[in-house]
Chain A
Amino acid sequence: MYHINELLNSDNTLKPSFVAMKESDDYTINIGPQHPATHGVLHLVITLNGETIKKVDPDLGFIHRSIEKMCESLSYRQYIYVTSRMDYLSSHINNHACALLVEKALQVEVPERAQYIRVIMDELTRIASHLLWWGAMAMDMGAFTPYFYAFRERELLTEIMEDTCGARLTMNYMVPGGVMHDPHETFVHRVSKEFLPLLKSKLHEYEELVTGNIIFQNRVNGVGLLTYEDAISYGCSGPTARASGVHCDIRKLYPYDVYNKVQFEEVIETAGDSMARYMVRMNEIKQSISIIEQLINNIPEGDFQAKTKAVLKLPKGEFYQRVETARGELGVFVVSEGGTTPYRIKFRSPGFSNLSCLDHITKGSKIGDLVASMGTLDLVIPDIDR
């Protein structure tokens, strides 16, 4: 075993690029960039005192594509589809935010049929995302079976998506003014008669396998505490903030499309620990099922797309649109000079803000608990890096 300072002072070794490592005498380990528990290419530099975490320093940018810069040269019809590559698990909801922004700026009235389809697809995406999170989070904690259980139901969902959108993950189904085309003719039948009954019959398995499991409960109860004030101060949103008791569901606070016509509950927990974050997401799956059930058999007849000009020009000014993705509040901020491309665009991604609280909630806990805290934050790395 070498001490870190011996290695650093030797001329034969590679020098690390972190200033923090050289300055202190602490024991430092790296998790990532290639590590199964980070779900992508996230690099965490962790300073330890024995087994206790002193500092977690995220090192980002391994999948940074500068989508913001790229969008400055894309038209308002094209830039929607780049955002599928940000948070790829809720790609449809990202596209929704961009389409809503263009509609708000141009004051386009979206046909009701398109609004219904959009919201149904949003909620299907949310279920798919939460199912994948559930499987992956359980795998982080050492349970491999839930991953297969989650993907068993999710497979049918991605098939439904593929029928309608032509893609399983990056849907690209939105256009400004509606959706690209009518859903597949079997869409309503497959969602209401095949998918929803299947998922509802399997939910109890999730509860029995993981939620009620005493080993799992011991690993998440009281771990990664985030208080109400800190959740707001760190800009957390989505299930992460709602587990700390913050009312932040954009679907309730600032409803878009037909969210003001459906009945659903904003899932709130007050404990603020990993178990609370877990419960919020599990209950959100049930709320999403309820939203889809209210809409799926009542899709009105009519156009699926409003008539818009071939070349879209946004008026001069600044526009902001937010939606509730599976991870939290996604904000799109566009500065327009009146041209066909944005002058400046900023994506306020939920993952970026949620990650910033990781150091705070893991400080002083054991390194084994880091994975439980990180798993229940539901980080998607392309969403953080953009």
Chain B
Amino acid sequence: MDNEALKIQLTELLPSLTFEEGGEWLNVNVDPNDWKPFAAKLKASAELYFDYLFCLTCVDWKTHLTMVYHLSSTKHRHTIVVKCKLDITTPVVETVCDIWRTAEFHEREVFEMFGVEFKNHPDLRKLILPADWVGFPLRKDYEDPINMIKL
């Protein structure tokens, strides 16, 4: 499915979406409150069938955080990038690990590195960092006077 056809299909699922083009794939901006039901429809829809979440990460833009989900379909071979803009002081978004199981580990990584809280995540603990670690290392304002290497 090309970008135009994808846009029509996606707008049918959620009319409030905004799109960005220019990159390699179609970028879809979605409100964090709409994300979970929208994600469930992306997987369930037979025409879209986004069953493969191959990259889940977060970007710190200093004023806000952006969750970035790279989704692809192993059946139709189309790809979209879904973005959720989160508040930087209290970043909260619904988990998608019951839809794509790979999200469980990736969300735990984003949780400890960026401090994003994933609502209804079954096991939201630190994965890579020690349990007593303070701060979110991949945020832009993170400072560690001892261990940080600045090049």
Q: Is the CB of A73 within 8 A of B125?
A: no
Chain B, residue nearest A318 (CB): B23
Q: A235-B102, A353-B102 are in contact. Are A320 and B51 (CB under 8 A)?
A: no
Q: A233-B51, A331-B54 are in contact. Are A73 and B150 (CB under 8 A)?
A: yes
Flag A156-187 by CB within 8 Å of B: 1 or 0 each: 00000000000000000000000000000000
A246 CA to B74 CA in the complex, in Å?
A: 8
Chain A, residue nearest B126 (CB): A61
Q: Is the CB of A317 within 8 A of B149?
A: no
Flag A328-352 by CB within 8 Å of B: 1 or 0 each: 0101010100000001101010001
Within the complex, the shortest CB–CB distance from B94 to chain A, in Å, comes to 18
Residues of A within 8 A of B129 (CB): 61, 64
A341 CA to B66 CA in the complex, in Å?
A: 20
A-side interface size class: 35 or more
Residues of A within 8 A of B25 (CB): 320
Chain B, residue nearest A75 (CB): B151
Q: Is the interface of B mostly helix, strand, loop or mixed?
A: loop
Q: Does A124 touch B at the CB level, under 8 Å?
A: no
Q: Does A198 touch B at the CB level, under 8 Å?
A: no
Q: Does A69 touch B at the CB level, under 8 Å?
A: yes
Q: Does B131 touch A at the CB level, under 8 Å?
A: yes
Q: Is the CB of A317 within 8 A of B23?
A: yes
Residues of A within 8 A of B151 (CB): 70, 73-74
B-side interface size class: 35 or more
Within the complex, the shortest CB–CB distance from A341 to chain B, in Å, comes to 9
The one of A19, A60, A235, A346 that contacts B127, using a Cβ cutoff of 8 Å: A60
A66 CA to B133 CA in the complex, in Å?
A: 14
Q: Is the CB of A69 within 8 A of B137?
A: yes
| Contact count A vs B, C-beta below 8 Å | 86
The one of A69, A333, A356 that contacts B102, using a Cβ cutoff of 8 Å: A356
The one of B22, B55, B59, B128 that contacts A331, using a Cβ cutoff of 8 Å: B55
Residues of B within 8 A of A235 (CB): 52-54, 100-102
Within the complex, the shortest CB–CB distance from A105 to chain B, in Å, comes to 10
Q: Is the CB of A355 within 8 A of B130?
A: no
The one of A68, A246, A348 that contacts B54, using a Cβ cutoff of 8 Å: A348
Most chain B CB atoms below 10 A, which of A253, A318, A348: A318
Residues of A within 8 A of B9 (CB): none
Q: Does B28 touch A at the CB level, under 8 Å?
A: no
Residues of B within 8 A of A320 (CB): 24-25, 55, 70
A73 CA to B151 CA in the complex, in Å?
A: 6
Q: Is the CB of A346 within 8 A of B101?
A: no
Within the complex, the shortest CB–CB distance from B109 to chain A, in Å, comes to 8
Q: Does B57 touch A at the CB level, under 8 Å?
A: yes
Q: Is the CB of A317 within 8 A of B22?
A: yes
Q: Does A256 touch B at the CB level, under 8 Å?
A: no
The one of A66, A74, A232, A356 that contacts B105, using a Cβ cutoff of 8 Å: A356
Residues of A within 8 A of B68 (CB): 333
Q: A233-B51, A235-B100 are in contact. Are A70 and B74 (CB under 8 A)?
A: no
Chain B, residue nearest A356 (CB): B105
Q: Does B77 touch A at the CB level, under 8 Å?
A: yes
Most chain A CB atoms below 10 A, which of B74, B128, B138, B151: B128
12 A-B pairs whose Cβ atoms sit less than 8 Å apart in the complex:
A58-B127, A60-B127, A64-B129, A230-B101, A233-B51, A233-B100, A237-B54, A317-B22, A320-B25, A329-B54, A348-B57, A356-B102
